[in-house]
Amino acid sequence: MMGKEPQSATETVESLEHLAEDRDEVRLADVLDEFGKRSFGPFMFIPAILELSPIGGIPGVPTVLAAFIALIALQLLLGRDHVWIPKFAEKRALQSDKLMKSAKKLEGFAEKLDHWFKGRLSQFTGPTWQKVSAVAIILLCLTVPPLEFIPFASSAPMLTIAAFALALTVRDGLLTLISCILSVVAIGVGTYLYYTSDGSSGGSFLPF
């Protein structure tokens, strides 16, 4: 599957498993080679769902993932035709066993997503709506750092980002519209949690 853009959540997760099979660690450069340079959707979907997995429970990881997603979303907003990642970031790596464990736990979730969403309302998947999605994703990313250490809070925007990214991947306009609604809800919920929480230790939104 070298250089082929995934067209579904399942293909995205399977690609991660393929990368983790034959090496000790997986670099971002490896993921870029595996997915191809036009994979804006998968490159935002992966870190978003990883934040919802046990990896997202590591302090600081949600903020790093949000920063990476924002970088990709900004490129989509600016109309770039391929994903660009700084050289120093390409060398960043994750242990293969941790990646494989998270990917395995996400298999069933990915299959359900593909069953629910695929290619509806194509008029909401064009360049204009891609830019709308990019703006919403960037705004959601900005909410992650202050919410990271509040239980469940940072996972709310990440779940919405995953929905946007999946919509971009499978070209589903209905999911794009649903994601726009979810973004308003996620920001509202995040704001509420931020101002009502005592800022104690964080957690993961989904029981993966």
Mean pLDDT of 73-98: 88
* Measured distance CA(88)–CA(207) in Å, rounded: 32
Most confident of 57-61, 90-94, 159-163: 159-163
Confidence of residue 5 (pLDDT cuts 50, 70, 90): confident
Q: What is the pLDDT of residue 207?
A: 35
* Measured distance CA(115)–CA(149) in Å, rounded: 33
Global pTM reads: 0.80
Confidence of residue 198 (pLDDT cuts 50, 70, 90): low
Mean pLDDT of 35-53: 85
- Is residue 132 scored above 70 in pLDDT? yes
Report the 3 state secondary structure along the chain: CCCCCCCCHHHHHHHHHHHHHCCCEEEHHHHHHHHCCCCHHHHHHHHHHHHCCHHHHCCCHHHHHHHHHHHHHHHHHCCCCCCCCCHHHHCCEEEHHHHHHHHHHHHHHHHHHHHHCCCCCHHHCCHHHHHHHHHHHHHHHHHHHHHCCCCCCCHHHHHHHHHHHHHHHHCCHHHHHHHHHHHHHHHHHHHHHHHHCCCCCCCCCCCC
- Is residue 199 scored above 70 in pLDDT? no
Q: What is the pLDDT of residue 9?
A: 83
- Is residue 203 scored above 50 in pLDDT? no
- Is residue 66 scored above 70 in pLDDT? yes
Task: Find the radius of gyration of the CA atoms of the chain.
Answer: 16
Range with lowest mean pLDDT among 99-103, 116-120, 124-128, 201-205? 201-205
- Backbone dihedral region for residue 6 (phi beyond 0: left; psi -120 to 50: alpha; all else: beta): beta
